[in-house]
Amino acid sequence: MLRSLFFLCCVLLIRPLYCQGPTEAFEAKVYRAEDGSTLPYRLLLPENYEPGRAYPLVLFLHGAGERGADNDLQLVHGAKLFTDEDNRRQFPAIVVFPQCPAEDYWARIDPGEDAHWQYPLLRRAPGPLKNVIGLLAELEKDYRVNPHRRYLGGLSMGGFGTFELLARKPDYFAAAFPICGGGNVLAAPLMTDTDLWVFHGGLDDVVPPVNSRKMVEALQEAGASVRYTEYPKANHNSWDSAFAEPQLLPWLFSNHRYWPAGRYAKPVFQQVQRTTMAYAKKEGETLELDFYEPSDDAVRNRPLILYVHGGGFAGGSRDEPRYTGYCQRMAERGYAVVSMSYRLTMKGKSFSCDQPTENKIRTFQMAVEDIRSATNFLLERKDMLGIHPDQIILVGSSAGAEAVLHAAYWTDEDLLPRSPRLPDGFAYGGVVSLAGAMVDVTDITKESAIPTVLYHGTCDNLVPFDAAPHHYCDENAVGYLPLFGANAIAKRLDEVGGSYHLVASCGGRHEWNDRPLFEYVDELSEVCYKMIVTDQFHQASRIIDQGGDCGDDQYPACTEVFMGKE
């Protein structure tokens, strides 16, 4: 009997931890606007929330019946969908339920007879919706929100508000699901980059379903990606059926901003602008960069590719045709792209086995210094240039690949005291190495790992594919320097649980330092989008067989390529 009572008490104590209702799970907070007005809201953070991780954001607008100031009533409909234990585990997100004041509205509505409802889009948003927009800006500052995974939903009055907010922030949300609402059909062209799933009840006698039907028709004519579900026997409470849709959340969270329009996946911009800027002056040398961007002012906050050319730290130029062509192609896909110059400290010198090891290390350090200087220059102008500070992707070829790998994984302690410092909390969004290597693979830790893309030939005779000395120098040579190439880096990322994409060319040599810039642009673009822009975890390796072998036992066999996880 005592054991049974003890077990029951344990269950009663433990159960709330796993079966929290919306009121307990959502934290009550208040947004305070500059004009003194306030907006109560409830906030749900993911379980095991990690401050450094970027999460999707879901904003939900309630109906007229849940207005007030108690900061609780807005959770009546829809909140349970996000506190469900399985949903929280499968779709970790920052979820926000604001509460509209009593007697006020998210959107202006002029109800008429049947098909004659009007939705005037005034120059200024209604007060509560204006505060919602301010709340979104505040949340972006307080939390790390994935800019390509912002979602919106609403029912009844909130359904109207959903269409209104999409029209006022046309470049913000990836997907939206308005339920039993309606909107201004003239605003439909503003919503074409947002995926929509519209719901309504066929017997709705509060908001006639023709309001959703007309909006869906206008969206389809404008070219939007929209689906419409009408429940023939449902009245105004069609939200019950919508929330019960098993594909609602999988559909919602599968959407990423701009992906439906083809950006980052294929060339969608016909014109690219190129601007040359001086980013630093060092030792009497003016260092410049070329900034490429699509000629499309509608898209801001672009991911940025920062490209560093090869040439053994002795030659090469940022504006060689093979590099400018790559920059052009990536900009056509929607990225902002920079190709930068840096100090060629080995110009006129050997960088082989006769160059002392300490000079090689110093060469890496100085290249990282220049990459940091260029990065700070770009971050200071991020708003003017329209780049996303959390999505700066380092890409390098050969010597440039060695430079970007060390820029990505070296800390201040690995550099000279004079080296520029990056802003506190800054981290590169990802790194792409084309036939590159790094000095110490243990610099990659669980905490420092970033999405890493690796292309390398298994027979590379200059930069080792796995772990081997630089230029395969004898250990007694003054230039002996162990390096870790793509294969070793992929193994390390697998060990620490980091994202990586390894492409190993069986029999390939050092031509893989620039071959992907011509032949694998689509793959490079798609992988960067998946791993870095949308922050999807990814671990994969694949082999391209060029035939033949390396002709020397010092090179790893193709059977030794690390395949990791598919």
| Per-residue model confidence as pLDDT tens digits over 426-443 | 999 999 999 999 999 999
Q: Is residue 560 part of a domain?
A: no
In a 3-state reduction of DSSP, which class is residue 506?
strand
More confident residue, 561 or 341: 341
The predicted-structure confidence for 483-505, as pLDDT tens digits, reads as follows 999 999 999 999 999 999 999 99
The alpha carbons of the chain give a radius of gyration, in whole angstroms, of: 27
Per DSSP, helices labelled H in 54-156 are 79-83, 85-90, 127-142
How many Å is the maximal CA-CA distance in the chain?
91
Give me the number of domains the chain comprises. Answer: 2
Across-strand partners of 467? 484
Structural tokens at position 444: 């990659």
Q: Which helix (H) or strand (E) holds 257?
A: none
Window from 25-34, 92-101, 218-227 with minimum mean pLDDT: 218-227
More confident residue, 263 or 145: 145
| 446 & 512 share domain | yes
| 61 & 132 share domain | yes
| 239 & 345 share domain | no
Give the alpha-carbon dihedral of 182, 184, 188, 190, to 10 degrees.
-120
| 39 & 91 share domain | yes
Find the mean pLDDT for residues 99-111.
87
| 409 & 498 share domain | yes
| 133 & 253 share domain | yes
Measure CA of the first residue to CA of the last residue in the chain; give whole Å. 52
Per DSSP, helices labelled H in 223-290 are 239-243, 248-254
Rounded distance, CA 142 to CA 308, Å? 33
Average pLDDT, the chain: 88
Rounded distance, CA 257 to CA 534, Å? 9
The residue count for the chain: 566
Q: Give the end of a domain, one of 220, 241, 261.
A: 261
Q: Is residue 561 part of a domain?
A: no
Contact 548, 509 (CB under 8 A): no
Structural tokens at position 184: 């201004």
Q: Is residue 4 part of a domain?
A: no
Contact 507, 549 (CB under 8 A): yes
| 224 & 315 share domain | no
Rounded distance, CA 270 to CA 296, Å? 10
| 285 & 228 share domain | no
pLDDT at position 147 is 79
Q: Is residue 8 part of a domain?
A: no
Rounded distance, CA 208 to CA 513, Å? 61
Rounded distance, CA 370 to CA 562, Å? 32
Helices 521-528, 321-332: inter-axial angle, 10-degree rounding: 50
Structural tokens at position 20: 């929290």
Angle at 82 between CA 11 and CA 30, to 5 degrees: 105
Across-strand partners of 197? 227
| 308 & 255 share domain | no
Amino acid at 15: R
Residue 299 binned pLDDT confidence (cut-offs 50, 70, 90): low
Q: Which helix (H) or strand (E) holds 303?
A: strand 302-308
Q: Is residue 3 part of a domain?
A: no
- Number of other residues whose CB lies within 10 A of the CB of residue 375: 24
Residue 5 binned pLDDT confidence (cut-offs 50, 70, 90): very low
Rounded distance, CA 81 to CA 239, Å? 11
Residue 236's domain comprises 19-261
| 374 & 503 share domain | yes
Report CA 182 to chain centroid distance, whole Å. 31
The predicted-structure confidence for 35-88, as pLDDT tens digits, reads as follows 999 999 999 999 989 887 889 999 999 999 999 999 999 999 999 999 999 999
Q: Is residue 423 part of a domain?
A: yes
Rounded distance, CA 101 to CA 127, Å? 10
- Counting beta carbons within 10 angstroms of the beta carbon of residue 229, is it exposed (0 to 12), middle (13 to 18) or buried (19 or more)? middle
Among 6-20, 140-154, 314-328, the range with the most confident prediction by mean pLDDT is 314-328
The predicted-structure confidence for 249-258, as pLDDT tens digits, reads as follows 999 998 876 4
Rounded distance, CA 521 to CA 533, Å? 16
Amino acid at 11: V
Q: Give the end of a domain, one of 239, 261, 283.
A: 261
Q: Is residue 534 part of a domain?
A: yes
| pLDDT at 112 exceeding the cut of 60 | yes
Rounded distance, CA 77 to CA 155, Å? 9
- Number of other residues whose CB lies within 10 A of the CB of residue 246: 7
The predicted-structure confidence for 502-555, as pLDDT tens digits, reads as follows 999 998 999 999 999 999 888 888 888 888 877 778 888 888 887 767 777 677
Q: Give the end of a domain, one of 261, 291, 312.
A: 261
In the DSSP assignment, the letter for residue 105 is -
Q: For 97, list phi and psi in degrees, rounded to 5.
A: -120, 95
Whole-number Cα distances in Å, 34 to 131, 134, 139, 314, 490: 10, 9, 16, 56, 50
| 209 & 314 share domain | no
Percent of the chain topping pLDDT 90: 64
| pLDDT at 269 exceeding the cut of 90 | no
Residue whose token pair is 């023709």: 210
Q: Which helix (H) or strand (E) holds 502?
A: strand 500-506
| pLDDT at 556 exceeding the cut of 70 | yes
Q: Is residue 459 part of a domain?
A: yes
Residue 378 binned pLDDT confidence (cut-offs 50, 70, 90): very high
Whole-number Cα distances in Å, 302 to 31, 59, 334, 335, 350: 28, 23, 7, 6, 39
**Closest alpha carbon to 401 in 330, 454, 324:** 454
Structural tokens at position 554: 């010092």
Rounded distance, CA 193 to CA 415, Å? 44
Structural tokens at position 230: 């009408």
Say which CATH number the domain at 418 has.
Answer: 3.40.50.1820
pTM above 0.85, yes or no: no
Rounded distance, CA 130 to CA 39, Å? 10
| 300 & 256 share domain | no
DSSP 177-240: EEES----GGGGGGGTTSEEEEEEETT-SSS-THHHHHHHHHHHHHT--EEEEEETT--TTTHH
Residue whose token pair is 């301010």: 134
| pLDDT at 118 exceeding the cut of 90 | no
Q: Which helix (H) or strand (E) holds 56?
A: strand 55-61
